[in-house]
């Protein structure tokens, strides 16, 4: 381990050799002070506000996050407000934002902060890294932006910017490359203003140093970019392609009982879309979707129903998986009370008027909207 650390230090020394760090910092900070976007989480440097924004922004566009963030902060303005809330309340405000494990981990982590640190988010790296759902990037963002500590906050934007500035051809999809960039940031970060420095790198990647067709003529650190001087800006960063995700054909049942209530099911407490509500569904590859769905309803819920026509189709894409959903209107024939399965304890018959109280994933929210018309 010591040898690897020494080798990395030598590599960083080689990378920054001859690089005018002071001038680079000055130009970058000057640009950010004048050109930074006005975003709700930049109103102050409160660590909780920074934390929530960084969790929401993971794999999600800024424009999408803003209204969610504002509603969330109105409802849960402090660590203690969020820690005291029920997870169902948190999920409901997160509904449609996706990647619900983020909300679940955030909720669990603020409880840790409330119980172990009196509601004050720790400003020590070893403590903040132990909080659930906080990885190296989020920890670095909180520590630098909120607490002014010279800690690296390396996300995809930062790796893209620095791979071009320093002409680094390492594969950014590999964990060791992220560690290389973290070490590089430690070598060039502004100790006087680490908050603005890290935010400036992120902002530069978001606004100027785009993945495709970077706007080099507008870049404040154009003169320092080695890739641009070599005509390599379009070739960097190097990123190996992720494995192609799996695609599943899913059959969804719209079952309405004699009282006009819809059959819903709550997903398991762990795993994909944990604890979210959904209309009953099952994998149904092949040409027998109706038969598979009918059998699933009977064996899982004791519900006798006949799927008729497909009334809605949708696609739900995860980072590693894609669902093609076919939604079937079903004819309800009754219920077999003798069939007792564990999932029945997580099932519910819900009126159309009450659907809005339940938290669905994005695709099932569309289905709920359809049946509510």
| Pick from 175, 239, 230: nearest CA to 211 | 239
Q: Is 253 helix (H, G, I), strand (E, B) or coil?
A: strand
| Pick from 192, 186, 334, 345: nearest CA to 265 | 345
Phi, psi of 114 (to 5 degrees): -65, -45
User: What span, in angstroms and rounded, lies between the C-alpha atoms of 306 and 295?
Assistant: 9
Q: Measured on CA atoms in the order 70, 75, 78, 82, is the torsion positive or negative? A: negative
Distance of CA 356 to the CA centre of its chain: 24
DSSP alpha helix (H) spans, the chain: 2-16, 21-35, 47-57, 62-75, 79-83, 87-94, 101-117, 125-128, 136-141, 156-165, 175-188, 194-207, 226-229, 289-301, 362-371
Phi, psi of 289 (to 5 degrees): -60, -40
DSSP label of 190: -
Catalytic residue list contains 95: no
One of 20, 54, 259, 337 is an active-site residue; which one? 54
CB contact set of 267 (below 8 Å; sequence gap of 6+)? 273, 274, 275, 276, 277, 278, 346
Contact 250, 321 (CB under 8 A): no
| Pick from 86, 119, 118, 117: nearest CA to 104 | 86
Q: Which residues are tagged catalytic?
A: 54
């Amino acid at each position: 381990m010591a040898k690897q650390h020494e080798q990395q230090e030598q590599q960083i020394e080689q990378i920054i050799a001859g690089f005018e760090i002071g001038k680079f910092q000055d130009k970058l900070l000057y640009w950010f002070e004048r050109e930074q976007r006005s975003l709700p989480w930049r109103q102050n440097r409160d660590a909780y506000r920074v934390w929530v924004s960084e969790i929401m922004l993971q794999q999600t566009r800024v424009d999408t996050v803003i209204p969610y963030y504002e509603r969330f902060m109105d409802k849960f303005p402090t660590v203690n407000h969020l820690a005291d809330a029920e997870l169902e309340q948190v999920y409901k405000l997160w509904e449609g934002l996706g990647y619900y494990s983020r909300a679940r981990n955030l909720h669990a982590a603020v409880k840790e902060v409330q119980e172990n640190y009196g509601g004050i988010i720790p400003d020590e790296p070893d403590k903040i890294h132990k909080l659930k759902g906080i990885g190296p990037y989020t920890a670095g963002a909180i520590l630098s932006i909120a607490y002014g500590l010279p800690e690296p906050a390396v996300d995809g934007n930062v790796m893209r910017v620095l791979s071009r500035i320093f002409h680094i051809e390492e594969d950014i999809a590999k964990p060791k490359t992220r560690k290389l960039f973290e070490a590089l940031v430690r070598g060039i970060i502004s100790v006087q203003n680490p908050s603005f420095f890290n935010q400036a790198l992120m902002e530069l990647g978001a606004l100027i140093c785009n993945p495709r067709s970077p706007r080099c003529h507008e870049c404040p650190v154009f003169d320092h970019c080695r890739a641009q001087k070599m005509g390599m800006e379009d070739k960097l960063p190097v990123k190996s392609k992720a494995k192609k995700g799996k695609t599943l054909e899913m059959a969804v049942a719209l079952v309405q009982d004699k009282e006009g209530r819809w059959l819903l099911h709550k997903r398991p407490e762990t795993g994909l879309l944990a604890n979210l509500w959904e209309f009953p569904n099952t994998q149904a590859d092949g040409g027998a979707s109706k038969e598979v769905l009918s059998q699933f309803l009977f064996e899982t819920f004791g519900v006798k129903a006949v799927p008729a026509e497909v009334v809605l189709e949708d696609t739900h894409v995860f980072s590693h998986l894609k669902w093609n959903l076919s939604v079937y209107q079903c004819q309800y024939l009754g219920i077999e009370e003798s069939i007792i399965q564990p999932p029945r304890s997580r099932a519910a018959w819900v009126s159309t008027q009450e659907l809005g109280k339940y938290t669905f994933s994005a695709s099932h929210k569309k289905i709920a909207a359809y049946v509510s018309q």
